Amino acid sequence: MTAVHSTCPYCGVGCGVIAGGEAVRGDPAHPSNRGRLCSKGAALSRTLDDSFRLTEPLLGGVPAGWDSALDHIAGRFADTIARHGPDSVAFYVSGQFLTEDYYVANKLMKGFIGSANIDSNSRLCMASTVAGHVRAFGEDVVPGTYDDWEQADLVVLVGSNTAWCHPVLHQRLQAARAARGTKVVVLDPRRTATAEAADLHLPLAPDSDVAAFNGLLVHLAGSGALDDAWIGRHATGLADALAAARADAPCLDAVAARCGVDPEALETFYAWFAATEHSVTAFSQGVNQSTGGTDKVNAIINVHLATGRIGRPGMGPFSLTGQPNAMGGREVGALANQLAAHLRFDHAEDRAVLRDFWQAPNLATTPGLKAIELFEAVADGRVKAIWIAATNPVASMPRAGRVRQALADCPFVVVSDCWPTDTTALADVVLPAAGWGEKDGTVTSSERRISRQRPFRAAPGLARPDWWAFAQVARRLGWADHFAWDGPAAIFREHAALSARANDGCRLFDIGALAGLDDAAYDALRSVRWPLPAGAAGEGGRLFALGGFPTADGRARLVPVRAPEPRPDGAFVLNTGRVRDQWHSMTRTGRVPELAAHTPEPLLSIHPGDAARLGLADGALARVETPEGAVVLRVGTTHAQRRGEVFAPMHWSGTFASHGTVARATGAGCDPLSGQPGLKSTPARVAPL
């Protein structure tokens, strides 16, 4: 079989792979990984067993042809819209979507059905970063690159177990450390594998990140490390941000007490940051998945703007996206509060651009329901028909038990997936989706690098790509001329042309470079960072190298942020996250023995002192109860865990764990700006079973 160059379907690093033979191997020519793969990527060929796949559409649980299933979906959606209006229907999609899938579903809902009720599971992943970027930069634009990690002298990792969750980038960082002595600081409540490998670990109390970075801003101001000249040219808001920071950080000891860390260690971090111009601060779900996630993002960006450390090699704030294509979804507007191509709901001229480009008869004019709100609307009957694609919310949404009940009671549920899941079990119509290795399209990595996913095997049975299913329903709803693409290349061309139109006259970004790809050029497309800065050629350009942010005055904004009040002592805090070798609700990885071997079952990590106090021995069963629900887990004691906090992996769904998913117990409190749920710190009671 011919070797095919494609992209790993797991995390936001976006590693290039070569597939088509016995094994999947790393692509030495791909700039993201240069041949490296992590354990999940290296085991990709072992996930291609079709035995468990969905292979034909099911209507009421009975096999049906595509035509019957699609006719039924179109009929039920049309009837629901006619009787209850466009906001009575919704799509819930996924960062596993290729950009072309995202584009089609978003166009159908926002341009033609006339509602903005399409949200993505990326809401659970990086919505707070989007909101923070918009506040600071005027637009959701990622300023940094992976190369910066290798050119930095200090890398600060906040709420990120990079060694397990973005392993190849962690490998690149370790190689850079060996070559140039890069210092690494980790701010994380847990002593993770990443913290173990760092020069300095600050085990922050939950949700004290803003206090830590406000303290850093005050320290930078006091030690003469602010770049007043750069701020004067390129940023505003320093005085207000500093006033807010000083209120949180009257002295180093107060910050250390709020963060629950050793003052000397905190001072060391501050001193290193102040003295190191080439500093990267990378952050992930420990920052984003918080009821104050947007403020955390801005607290981090503030210290980079205050020091002018952005837009130059080896420096900048850097958001690590969890999923392979969270960034692609952001480009085409797959979040309920975005329009495509970064166009804005609250700007009439932006809506006019999109309405004109799509010839959209029913363009949505206001944001739709974000993920948590969306499932609440299903629960209370406002949403009466929902199409869920490439995600398993019954196992992954907070308050999963409530989500399950909401879908069970919903009049009409469509689920597209590759495998049967807890969610497909509740569907009126199940659609078999083509999966990785079978689909054709593009994904965008954390450094906004577009790479191709290319097919190298036939989809099993009648499985088809998601974009095709959404387009087929659109055609049946009466919009055939607007959903008439013959393949992903045509969809990508339209997406790129829209982006170019939306940025017409923009002096900052060169958007149009990809708008004219013909089929052959799309097929041959090598990975490319996009957008490029205006005037830049190829890989050479860097966003914000000369300042010039996409705000009205061209300046970035420091945002005044305050740390939340500490939680009262006494209650445990339940934290959740990934393990090294599993992915999401394990549909792809859970049946691969060598991946299961690393973490055979979901353990509740707890400090030995807490376990002893509660009478919990290693290996005993514990009941974790929160206001949302309860879950039973086997105890694993570890000094990596702070006292008063427990950690449980997020992956085990009803399919793989007899005691059910931890998502049943996670809280649904959300960041007020981003709508991202605070999955990292749900108050909990822990007791022996």
163 touches ligand SF4 by CB under 6 A: no
Rounded to a whole number of angstroms, the minimum distance from the CB of residue 115 to ligand SF4 is 33
For ligand SF4, give the closer residue by CB, 11 or 327: 11
Identify the residue whose tokens are 């095919």. Answer: 4
* Among the listed residues 168, 413, 500, 511, the single contact to ligand SF4 using CB under 6 A: 168
Which residue has 């709100």 as its token pair?
Answer: 373
Q: Determine if 579 is a binding residue for ligand SF4 (CB under 6 A).
A: no
Amino acid at 460: P
Burial of 348 (0-12, 13-18, 19+ CB in 10 A): exposed
Nearer to ligand SF4, 39 or 151 (CB): 39
Element (H, E) at 150: helix 146-151
The DSSP output letter for 679 is T
Q: Does 38 bind ligand SF4 (CB under 6 A)?
A: yes
- Size of the chain, expressed as the number of residues it contains: 689
- 286 counts as binding ligand SF4 under rule CB under 6 A: no
Helix axes 371-379, 400-409, angle to 10 degrees: 50
Q: Nearest approach, Cβ of 26 to ligand SF4 (angstroms)?
A: 7
Q: Which is nearer to ligand SF4, 32 or 423 (CB)?
A: 32
Binding-residue pattern over the window 580 to 619 for ligand SF4, x denoting contact by CB under 6 A: ----------------------------------------
Q: How far is the CB of 146 from ligand SF4 (least distance, A)?
A: 11
Q: Is 41 in the site for ligand SF4 (CB under 6 A)?
A: yes
Strand pairing partners for 621?
Answer: 634
Tokens of 510: 């060169």
What are the tokens at 361? Answer: 């008869």
322 binds ligand SF4 (CB under 6 A): no
Q: Please spell the DSSP secondary structure of 365-408, one letter per residue.
A: -S----HHHHHHHHHTTS--EEEEES--HHHHSSSHHHHHHHHH
Binding to ligand SF4 by residue 10, rule CB under 6 A?
yes
- Decide if residue 489 touches ligand SF4 (CB under 6 A): no
Comparing CB distances to ligand SF4, the nearer of 298 and 453 is 453
Q: At closest approach, how far in Å is the CB of 364 from ligand SF4?
A: 33
Q: Is 15 in the site for ligand SF4 (CB under 6 A)?
A: yes
CB 38 to ligand SF4: min, Å: 3
φ, ψ for residue 487, nearest 5 deg: 170, 175
Residue 125 in contact with ligand SF4, rule: CB under 6 A: no
Q: Measured from the CB of residue 638, what is the shortest distance to ligand SF4 in angstroms?
A: 24
Residue number, 148 or 248, with CB nearest to ligand SF4: 148
Q: Quote the tokens at residue 413.
A: 């549920």
Q: Which stretch binds ligand SF4 (CB under 6 A): 6-14, 98-106, 203-211, 648-656?
A: 6-14
Binding piece for ligand SF4, criterion CB under 6 A, among 8-16, 297-305, 362-370, 479-487: 8-16
Contact status: 167 vs ligand SF4 (CB under 6 A):
yes
CA dist list (Å): 226 to 216, 302, 306, 317: 11, 11, 6, 16
Number of residues that bind ligand SF4 (CB under 6 A): 14
Kindly state the tokens that stand for 623.
């009941």
Tell me which residue has tokens 């005050």: 218
| Residue 60: other Cβ atoms inside 10 A | 10
Applying the rule CB under 6 A, the residues between 240 and 259 that interact with ligand SF4 are none
Closest CA to 97 of 125, 81, 131, 120: 120
- Which of the stretches 32-40, 307-315, 363-371, 447-455 binds ligand SF4 when contact is defined by CB under 6 A? 32-40
Instruction: Indicate the residue whose CB is closest to ligand SF4.
Output: 41
Residue of 137, 100, 92, 136 lying closest to 368 (CA atoms): 92
Binding of ligand SF4 at residue 282 (CB under 6 A)? no
498-501's contacts with Cβ under 8 Å and 24+ in sequence apart are: 498/340, 498/341, 498/354, 498/357, 498/358, 499/331, 499/341, 499/342, 499/531, 501/341, 501/353, 501/357
Nearer to ligand SF4, 32 or 290 (CB): 32
Q: Is 187 in the site for ligand SF4 (CB under 6 A)?
A: no
CA distances from 33 to 30, 150, 271, 391 (A): 6, 13, 32, 26
- Distance between CA atoms of residues 306 and 316, nearest Å: 11
Work out whether 19 is an interface residue with ligand SF4 (CB under 6 A): no
C-beta of 391: minimal distance to ligand SF4 in Å?
Answer: 18
Per CB under 6 A, does 8 bind ligand SF4? yes
Nearer to ligand SF4, 27 or 510 (CB): 27
What's the closest the beta carbon of residue 647 comes to ligand SF4, in angstroms?
Answer: 21
Of the pair 447, 494, the CB lying nearest ligand SF4 is at 447
The footprint of ligand SF4 (CB under 6 A) covers 8, 10-11, 13-15, 33, 37-38, 40-41, 166-168
